């Protein structure tokens, strides 16, 4: 009898241990999943859609994909047939209402630059608050889409064939960035062209000690300088307002044969801090 009890005790303890392990494993896994999409907790009332579900609805004509990023970001890379309605536009909601009226019953999926970009949630929330239904945040964004569906992605107007080679990793972009003191010193030493790519309204102040600077906003710099392949024999030192738009400018530089260029880490804001726009 005692032997039987010992066997049952072992079985009981084994079962408890297994249950504990399962609970621990599930508990440990949950934060990892949540941390992959930090915006989901902050925007808990915003519905989101996964890549596979969006792709199925997109290919069957039951969903419209909407890019809510800036113009340069959209022009660099976006899903085939994605529409462009920047969430920063004053008439964003009005444009989405017009889109909804013309596409009753279809899902509207808003996306931006992936899991740490909150614009997809903000756009979806704005649509919800305006009474527009069947809207979703595609929070995997363009980074996930291009890797999973490259043949349904346009990069500078061409279908992506090899995302591993064509998409510039953040690690490579970071190699091209310099903190201000280094940016200023290297520009002076190499005698390159310093490009202030901020919009005119953002140029309330100049960067101290930079000397002669070519002031030309990105939407002019790209067609009138980069795509005309000007000064490819000289190093370029380029800065924008916060160091994010140059991330997309790099695609144009690479596509047009530039290889000697540096960006200011954090843009002008990292140096000038709070600024008053003109």
All residues at 6 or more sequence positions from 18 whose CB lies less than 8 Å from its CB, including other chains: none
- Within this chain, do residues 57 and 78 fall inside the same structural domain, yes or no? yes
- Domain range holding 152? 42-161
Confidence of residue 274 (pLDDT cuts 50, 70, 90): low
Percent of the chain with pLDDT over 70: 86
Q: pLDDT category, 13, cuts 50, 70, 90?
A: very low
Number of domains within the chain: 2
- Average pLDDT of the chain is 88
Of 140, 161, 182, the residue that ends a domain is 161
- 77: domain CATH number is 3.40.250.10
87 near 126, Cβ under 8 Å?
A: yes
Which of 97, 126, 161 represents a domain boundary (last residue)? 161
Query: Which residues have CB under 8 Å from 276's CB, separation 6+?
Result: 204
Any domain includes 256: yes
Q: Is residue 100 part of a domain?
A: yes
126, part of any domain: yes
Sequential DSSP letters for 65-88: EEE-S-HHHHHHEEETT-EE--TT
Alpha helices in 78-158 (DSSP H): 92-102, 119-129, 141-148
Listed residues 115, 142, 161: the one ending a domain:
161
Q: Render pLDDT for 116-169 as a digit per residue (tens, 0 to 9).
A: 899 999 999 999 999 999 999 999 999 999 999 999 999 999 999 999 999 999
pLDDT of residue 31: 36
Residues 92 and 109 occupy one common structural domain: yes
**CA torsion, ordered 121, 44, 107, 138, to nearest 10 deg:** 50
Q: In 3D, which of 258, 257, 272 has the Cα closest to residue 198?
A: 272
Average pLDDT over residues 231-254: 96
**Which pTM value belongs to this model?**
0.82
């Amino acid at each position: 009898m005692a032997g039987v009890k010992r066997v049952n005790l072992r079985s009981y303890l084994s079962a408890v241990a297994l249950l504990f392990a399962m609970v621990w494993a599930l508990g440990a896994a949950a934060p990892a999943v949540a941390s992959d999409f930090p915006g989901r907790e902050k925007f808990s009332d915003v519905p989101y859609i996964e890549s596979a579900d969006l792709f199925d609805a997109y290919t069957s004509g039951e969903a419209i994909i909407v890019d809510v990023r800036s113009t340069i970001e959209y022009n660099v890379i976006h899903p085939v047939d994605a529409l462009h309605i920047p969430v920063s536009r004053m008439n964003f909601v009005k444009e989405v209402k017009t889109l909804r009226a013309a596409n009753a019953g279809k899902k509207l999926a808003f996306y931006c630059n992936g899991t740490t970009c909150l614009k997809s949630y903000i756009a979806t929330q704005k649509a919800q608050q305006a009474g527009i239904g069947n809207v979703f945040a595609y929070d995997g964004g363009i980074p996930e889409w291009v890797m999973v569906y490259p043949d349904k992605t346009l990069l500078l107007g061409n279908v992506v064939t090899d995302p591993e080679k064509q998409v510039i990793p953040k690690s490579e972009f970071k190699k091209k960035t310099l903190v201000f003191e280094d940016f200023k010193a290297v520009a002076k030493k190499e005698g390159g062209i310093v490009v202030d790519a901020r919009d005119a309204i953002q140029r309330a102040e100049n960067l101290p000690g930079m000397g002669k600077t070519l002031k030309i906003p990105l939407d002019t710099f790209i067609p009138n300088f980069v795509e005309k392949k000007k000064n490819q024999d000289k190093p370029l030192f380029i800065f924008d307002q916060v160091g994010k738009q140059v991330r997309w400018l790099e695609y144009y530089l690479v596509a047009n044969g530039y290889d000697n260029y540096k960006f200011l880490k954090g843009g002008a804001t990292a140096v000038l801090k709070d600024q008053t726009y003109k």
